[in-house]
Structure 1
């Protein structure tokens, strides 16, 4: 598994460093003047300092945005007067849907019907195909493929509770579809002819290493939208949809 928790801890350290840097200057200054700390300005100063630290350490643009807005938004939310229990409830709801984002920086992406049709065309010449969807979401790929290819066998692996439950209901009537609760990093790939993933840029290098270790020669690894770093794809399929989806195909 890629060291995603190390990245998350690094971001937390940057945010804490910015907070400590601002407060270590602000508290003595306003304390000596016997004045209350001006929290709106302090929150903005922490956001600006966090942006500076994130820029100096060359973090990705979305981390810079998060660092800039985190404390100002947290202060603004505290002023609304919402009961903290609602924030806790929202956290658990998001965890049910986006568990992969917390543990592996893998959010929930849903493949559309056009992408499923492109995958069906791409794999139609593989007889009795065994197809694995890593991070299968709600089954938006496996459902259409399993209905089109009764001769093939499809497996979906998902670890976000809400998405898994939804997919379980959608796949219930498909005899050629195995819907699993599990961790993609603990899923053995050697039994499959095609492995498909729609994850994020973060795990792609590690997932490719896993595919090289476990997948058989001649089998196909397909990544939706996110290419394997520094590896040339054998084929790139341009999907005719509103998102301009690309399917990066790698032959083992």
Structure 2
């Protein structure tokens, strides 16, 4: 809702300034220029409210792309299909304030090394995507019990198919905020800065003593990590590890 409010505020700001100006001159509102102006205003508001970089890009491009899309001679049903497809893939961006970030295999192998001293570990991946962590871990850690939690329908379905028939892999549909962490030895997340404070509260409330919480790229605000592991991949991935 916050992001929709930003878009609405940007639209209201630009239209309220442009409409009287062009109305007094007897001219119609130039929608291409107006759309790009709304995008610029939305970017400014997103910057002032300290939104993550990916939300800034979305705010900048949303209305201009919507206008460009309206110029394409497609039946309305196609636009609905495109919207539905995006919702099926990026639902987590709306409900969990986290875009679809996919961990690479180098990260999965680093996780295997970090957790090597935890035999038969119970591992939970919050926002598991396509299983890009669960599947490599299943290969190198056959002793581990692995759970992936995902709530984007199409992404969940693909991950479910990829983990089908792997007895130590559990693929779970659900909101990461509702996931049960009480029996977890290791919890991994690759989300965004926004949900980290609330997720940390959940970790502290549910994860048992001696367990390990690992966040890819996004540190918990105002909480020093026990260790920070440099993966050494092209992304220069950092894994922030918090011992409970």
Q: TM-score scaled by structure 2? A: 0.89
Structure-1 residue corresponding to 2:77: 85
**Match of 1:126, SS?**
coil
Equivalent of 2:63 in 71, 74, 79: 71
Match of 1:228?
Answer: 220
Q: Which residue of the other structure, out of 154, 161, 169, is the alignment partner of 2:153?
A: 161
Alignment partner, residue 245 of structure 1? 237
Task: Give the 3-state SS of the residue equivalent to 1:237 in structure 2.
Answer: strand
Change (3 A) 1:118 1:157: same
Structure 1 residue 26 displacement after superposition: 3.4
Task: Provide the aligned C-alpha RMSD in A.
Answer: 2.1
Q: Deviations over 1:39-69 (max 9, x none)?
A: 2333344344444444555555554444444
Deviation at 1:105, TM superposition (A): 1.8
User: Are the counterparts in 2 of residues 147 and 174 from structure 1 also a CA contact under 8 Å?
Assistant: no
Contact in 1 for aligned 2:46/2:56 (Cα 8 Å) = yes
Tell me: CA distance 1:80–1:170, structure 2 relative to 1, closer, same or farther (3 Å).
Answer: closer
> Displacement of 1:235 after TM fit?
0.7
Map 1:77-226 → 2, pairs under 5 A = 77-226=69-218
Larger of the two Rg values belongs to structure: 1
Secondary structure of the residue that 1:80 maps to in structure 2?
A: coil
Partners of 1:133 and 1:157 within 8 A in 2: yes
How has the CA–CA distance of structure 1 residues 17 and 136 changed in structure 2, closer, same or farther, with 3 Å as cutoff? closer
SS of residue in 1 equivalent to 2:213: strand
Moved over 6 A (4+): none
Alignment size in residue pairs: 244
* d(CA) in 1 for partners of 2:210, 2:204: 11
Is 1:34 the counterpart of 2:3? The answer is: no
Q: Does the C-alpha gap of structure 1 residues 110 and 85 become closer, same or farther in structure 2, counting only changes over 3 Å? A: same
Unaligned runs of at least 5 residues, structure 2: none
TM-score between the two structures when normalised by the length of structure 1? 0.87
